[in-house]
Structure 1
Amino acid sequence: MKPPIGRDTRLCMSLAARPGNFGSRFHNRLYERLGLDYVYKAFTTDDLGGAVRGIRALGIRGCAVSMPFKEAVIPLLDALAGSAAAINSVNTIVNDGGRLTGYNTDYSAVRDLLDQAAVDPALPFALRGSGGMAKAVAAALRDRGHRAGTIVARNADAGAALADEYGFAWQAEVTDDAALLINATPIGMTGGDQDALAFPMSLIERCAVAFEVVALPPETPFLRAARAARKVTVAGADVAVLQALEQFVLYTGVRPGADDVAHAAAFARGEID
C-alpha cells in the first residue's frame, strides 16, 4: 500500500511545452500498485534554467524532458550518461544528492520496438524530424544497421547536420518512396497539427512499415491511415510506455513486473479506471 504523502515523499516531474497526462498517470499508478512513497507531476515552463535549478534545490528525484527542451537542458546538467552523450539529447534527468545526470530512454525504446516488429534494416527509410526525438530514432536506426535512409526536415541546417552525423541523406520534403516511414515531429500531436498527415497518403499507401513517434493522441492521422492501408505499424503509445518504464527504474531502482506495467499503461491511456 502506498504511504500517504508526507515529508519523506519523493517528487518526480516532467517538463514539456505541452504537458500531457500520460506520464503522471503511468508513474503514479505504478507507485500505488508497488507501495512506493513517490508522487509525479507534469509541468511546463518559460524558464528552463530556473526549473532545473529548482530540481537541484528542492531535491526532486527525477524529471522527464520533452520537446523543446531535450537539447537545451544539456548545459544545465552536471553529467551525461552514455545514452544521452551519444546523441546529445536528454529525455530524463536523475538527481543524486544535487548532482544532475542526463539520460536518454527514447533510444532504447525505439530500438526495442523496431526489433519487436522485426523491421528489416535493409528497408530504405524516411525519417521526418531533426530534433531530440529524431536524433534518438536516427541513432537507433544506424545502430541496427540501417544504411539507406533520408532525414526529412525543413530546417536545412538541423536536417543536414543530423543526416551527416549518422550517415544518411537529407531532403527538405519527402519526394521518394520509402518502405519505412517514421514521424518524429509534432505533426498529428494533440494541441498541434493534430489533423495533419506526417506523410502524403500516396507514400503511406506504398510503404511497408509506418512508425509513429507521437504518443498523444494514441492514434494520429498518420497511424490511422497506415492501419487502414494494412501496413505494419509501430505506435507512439508503445514508445511512451517503454521509455517511461526505464525512467521509472532510474528514479526508483525498482523494475515492475509485466502485469503492473500493462495495467499502468492501460490506465495512463484511459482504457481502465
Structure 2
Amino acid sequence: MTMKPPIGRDTRLCMSLSARPGNFGSRFHNRLYELRGLDYVYKSFSTRDLPGAVGGIRALAIRGCAISMPFKEAVIPLLDGLAGSAAAIDSVNTIVNDDGVLTGYNTDYAAVVALIADIDPATRFVLRGSGGMAKAVAAALRDSGFRDGTIVARNAGAGQALAALYGFGWAAAVTEGAPLLINVTPIGMTGGNEDELPFSADAIAACDIAFDVVQYPPETRFLQAARAAGKRVITGTEVATLQALEQFILYTGVRPTAAEVAQAAEFARG
C-alpha cells in the first residue's frame, strides 16, 4: 500500500450533496484513497442553495460530486452537459469537473444493471417510486430485457410519465404483488418512516426477490421481512458500493482491486 500524502494545497476534493447526508460515501472513498495512496479527500454536504453549491464545485475546482435525493433532476440545468445514461434517463447522480466543465453521469444505472444481471428478464416486477433513482432502476430494467412490470407512484403525472417512457404499466397504489418487488422510495429510511413497509406482508411472502435501494438502515424492515421469509434480497448497500466504485474511477482514473473495494465497503459500513 502506497502512503497517502498529507492534505496540502495539491489535495483534490470530492464531495456529495444530499438532503440527508450519510457516512457511507465519505468512508468508502476516503478508505480507497488511503489504500491507493491518492492525494484526495472526500466530504459529504447538504444544501438549501443548489445553484450556489454547484457554482462552488466549478469555482473551487472540486473534482467530483455525488448527487442524491432530491437533487438528481434539479441539478441538470446547472451543468454543462450529460454523458451516457444520464442523458438517456434525465437523471444525474455524479458530477465530474474537468477544468471547470461540469458533466453529469449516472452510476446508479450501471450498478442496478450489474445487480439484476442474473435475474430472468421474463420475471414480473412491481417498482414503487417515480423520482430520479426510480428512473435509473426503470431504465436498467428495460435495457436488461424486462417487459412485464408496473410502476407504482401516488404522483400520477410522474408515475404515468415514467411508465410510458419505459413501456411499463402504472398504478397509483400497490394493489398486487409480483415475483420481484423493488422499493425506490424513502419508505423505510432512517429518520423518516422507517417502521413502514413499501409492500404488504402478503406481497413480500409471495415474492421471490426483494430489492430495496434504501441505504440507511442497511437492513430495512422490508429486507428483514423478506429474509425472514427466505427470499433473495438486493440491498441499498450493494447499490451504493457499485455506484460509488464507478464514481471513484471517474474522479481518479484508478480502478481498485476487488479486494480493495471489499475492504472499503466493509469499512464504510462500520
Q: State the TM-score, normalizing by the size of structure 1.
A: 0.97
Measured in 2, the distance between the counterparts of 1:215 and 1:120 equals 25
Q: Which residue of 1 aligns with 2:45?
A: 43
Report the alpha carbon displacement of residue 120 of structure 1 after superposing the two structures with TM.
Answer: 1.2
Written as runs of structure 1 = structure 2, the 5 A alignment for 1:162-241 is 162-241=162-241
Deviation digits for residues 157-184 of structure 1 (CA, Å, limit 9, x no counterpart): 0000000000001001111221110001
Secondary structure in structure 1 of the residue aligned to 2:219: coil
Measured in 2, the distance between the counterparts of 1:203 and 1:85 equals 34
Secondary structure in structure 2 of the residue aligned to 1:121: coil
Deviation digits for residues 62-85 of structure 1 (CA, Å, limit 9, x no counterpart): 000000000000000001001200
- 5+ long unaligned stretches in structure 2: none
Written as runs of structure 1 = structure 2, the 5 A alignment for 1:95-174 is 95-115=97-117, 118-174=118-174
Secondary structure in structure 2 of the residue aligned to 1:86: helix
**% same residue:** 74
Report the alpha carbon displacement of residue 189 of structure 1 after superposing the two structures with TM.
Answer: 1.0
Measured in 2, the distance between the counterparts of 1:106 and 1:267 equals 21
Report the alpha carbon displacement of residue 193 of structure 1 after superposing the two structures with TM.
Answer: 1.2
Report the alpha carbon displacement of residue 142 of structure 1 after superposing the two structures with TM.
Answer: 0.4
Q: Which residue of 1 aligns with 2:17?
A: 15
Measured in 1, the distance between the counterparts of 2:194 and 2:9 equals 41
Written as runs of structure 1 = structure 2, the 5 A alignment for 1:76-91 is 76-91=78-93
Secondary structure in structure 2 of the residue aligned to 1:120: coil
Measured in 1, the distance between the counterparts of 2:105 and 2:132 equals 12
Q: Which residue of 2 aligns with 1:32?
A: 34
Give the length in aligned residue pairs: 268
Q: Which runs of 4+ in 1 moved over 4 A?
A: none
Measured in 2, the distance between the counterparts of 1:255 and 1:195 equals 38
Q: Which residue of 1 aligns with 2:252?
A: 252
The alignment yields a C-alpha RMSD, in angstroms, of 0.6
**Could you tell me which amino acid in structure 2 is paired with residue 156 of structure 1?**
A
Secondary structure in structure 1 of the residue aligned to 2:127: strand
Q: State the TM-score, normalizing by the size of structure 2.
A: 0.98
**Could you tell me which amino acid in structure 2 is paired with residue 4 of structure 1?**
P
